[in-house]
Structure 1
């Protein structure tokens, strides 16, 4: 590869170049062998270290990004087609045709795909004909609609996501299962809160989720998810005393859960993430960080976006606990090393919170400008931001 040629011409070993760049040498080796794509930022930094002008950066820019290639295989009208098919199955007269409407079980390998790559698979799943039990098929459509809504939100397409949230609620309400109806509402509340939406309307959604979850005692996972959402929203609204009252219930429900998630409830790593998010929202930064760290240990290696969010959650705890340098280092590594196609609105919302925390505790830190620059790229989600050396199964 061109990087190897330029490095050898400069008389540097792989380890020497990696040390200067702050990257793992095994990651650079994978780039030289064509096993990793790298990033525009890395290419520019290599040009600077190797004295090659903008040769490597230009080569990178001329190389088609895999994320764009895959995303292009989904026709622009395919999601609308899937929406029309789903709309025909919604109960009652369906008069809402646009995103201006008011308002699980995981699908295996789909969760290990980047958001932009996930949409074509979800569309295909939605288009499959009904087989077997009608109730099971409808439940599956609810879960798929939820995943489409979450995926569109992650891709920065919040307006389109709104009608999918609405459709999931309509389908779940028609089925009448309290646990499923609760799941739709709590997941919607948590997603919209992470995105930065106004908290007051989300509290009503969380209240509905909790009321429904309490009707189904066989699904303690849904009670945990609903109570976690409500506690976080209350804390966001400044109603800290009410939020504190929910913390013991959140922790007790988490302890009661079996370690094998069933019925669409949270998985073990999600349980710790929920605990951590509630603790952090109430200002228990050390406890929150420990729970996020435990969640990270249990989170599957191929869920790169979720692992990144957990690390940024830990970074926010560092910043709030006046550990600005640790917070800054963690956030910079996540944003630079995470492969381009995994960057989402959720990721940048979390990074912005870290940035705000670091500015408050240590505004003079060297490197703060670099984080500001990376966070400013939020508008370019899906475009080149950074590719990584320490993510997933290849972590050294």
Structure 2
């Protein structure tokens, strides 16, 4: 079977069949898989059915056209009773060399997209400790400065650490998609959301597949995407999360995002039914103050957003206030989002003057480089809430002008981006 690749469809090009690993002299993962499968008397279709993969995908692995994943190797070991034989074969199989592609005349973002297409599904990797610090430090950068860092990270030469590479590439794609959305480049963001889902699906871990869809749906609420489309994403996310119930982070993300989408659709009873389950998963989730785990202030933010979407304004406000107390001072956008969320709760509980005061202060005091799609999505909800309940309140016109300003619109991004200026 021959596969082709275009600029917008990242599919790997087949390479010749398996060769022995130069490092160990033993068979590659694909060759070892074929030997063990045949020794067990199973066909490709039989093995694929047992481990939940397509038989054509396994055939490509055996021929050396795909590398497979660590999770697939573990599942095959379990089904074939081979101990850790296949897992070790996977670990010692070298990654295929990265092919270069001309990028003359392309901006850094387009170049990074092409590199992701070339690498699919083989991905870069860094040590876990370095990765944790790097992801944590990104949150202290505004979106227009964060994007060049992500693009450069995607272009970094690979380090031979197979155990982390798939997860890291998925996270990079998600972060680029979220950052592009923050900068108002929604069309570009769609490609990266798609790439993240494809990478997660290729890895075959339900928890990661679920998180990719939940994060896209959460972003879609700020973008103003069609709610039926977002509901479909949350349905998929919850179905996948249920396949890996021990991943409380995936379950929490899936249930919280689904509750918000259902509430936006007016299906409040269904959304309310998810609240007790959501809170129980939040209690089970291990906290993390650094790295990519859930920090306590993020947990309070998730709980507050669900409460606010259901009209529990007082509970939501308390959650946001707790989150604000714990949110690091250097994370200006996240602090602004929490304050604006509190203002939305004030508006919902008919405290319009307080809502307008908080929202206008945040938009005026927040430096322009920290203004994003996400900030203005909440500010617009504050404006709508006050206008609906107290339409004659002084200050509405002023907030309307601030919300219409949107200083990030049209701003250039990339390695040559100047975050202090926007194109008029």
Q: TM-score, normalised by structure 1?
A: 0.72
Do the aligned partners of 1:235 and 1:281 also contact (CA within 8 Å) in 2?
yes
Verify: 1:184 aligned to 2:209, yes or no.
no
1:220-235 to 2 correspondences below 5 Å: 220-235=248-263
Cα deviation, residue 259, structure 1: 2.5
| Counterparts in 2 of 1:212 and 1:263: CA distance versus 1, 3 Å | farther
Change (3 A) 1:262 1:303: closer
- Aligned CA distance change for structure 1 residues 261 and 301 (closer, same or farther; 3 Å): closer
Match of 2:108 among 74, 78, 91: 78
* Between structures 1 and 2, the one with greater helix share: 1
Q: Which residue of 1 aligns with 2:302?
A: 274
Distance 1:174 1:225 in 2: 21
CA distance, structure 1, for counterparts of residue 330 and residue 112 of structure 2: 27
Distance change (3 Å), C-alpha of 1:76 and 1:111: farther
Q: Give the match's secondary structure for 1:107.
A: helix
Please state whether the residue corresponding to 1:364 is helix, strand or coil: coil
**Higher relative contact order by CA 8 Å / sep ≥ 6: 1 or 2?**
1
Q: Which residue of 1 aligns with 2:364?
A: 336
Structure 2: give runs of 5+ residues left out of the alignment.
1-104, 123-130, 412-424
Deviation per CA, 1:188-237, whole angstroms, max 9, x where unpaired?
A: 01011122111111111111111222222332122111100010001111
Offset, 1:168? 0.6
The equivalent position to 1:363 in structure 2, one of 384, 391, 409, is 391
Residue in 2 aligned with 1:291?
Answer: 319
The CA deviation string for residues 215-265 of structure 1, in whole angstroms up to 9 with x for no partner, is: 223321221111000100011111111111001111111122223379955
Q: Cα offset for 1:125?
A: 0.4
Q: How many residues are treated as equivalent by the alignment?
A: 298
1:361 shift after superposition: 1.9
CA distance in 1, matches of 2:109, 2:288: 33
Cα offset, 1:90, TM superposition: 2.1
Distance 1:220 1:316, change over 3 A: same
Q: Flag structure 1 segments of 5+ consecutive residues without an equivalent.
A: 1-74, 93-103, 384-396
Which has the higher Rg, Structure 1 or Structure 2?
2
Equivalent residue number for residue 119 of structure 2: 89
Q: State how far apart, in whole Å, the 2-side matches of 1:86 and 1:107 are.
A: 19
Q: Is the 8 A contact 1:219 1:263 kept in 2?
A: no
Instruction: Provide Cα deviations, 1:64-101, integer angstroms capped at 9, x if missing partner.
Output: xxxxxxxxxxx961111110000112249xxxxxxxxx
Contact 2:368 2:407 in 1 (8 A): no
Moved over 3 A (4+): 261-265, 379-383
Moved more, 321-330 or 298-307: 298-307
| Alpha carbons of structure 1 residues 141 and 182: separation in structure 2 relative to 1, 3 Å | same
Post-superposition shift, 1:113? 0.3
**Is the contact between residue 343 and residue 382 of structure 1 (CA under 8 Å) also seen in structure 2?**
no
CA shift in 2, pair 1:345/1:152, >3 Å: same
For residues 268 and 222 of structure 1, the distance between their equivalents in structure 2, rounded to whole angstroms, comes to 16
Secondary structure at 2:294 match in 1:
coil
Is 1:141 aligned with 2:141?
A: no
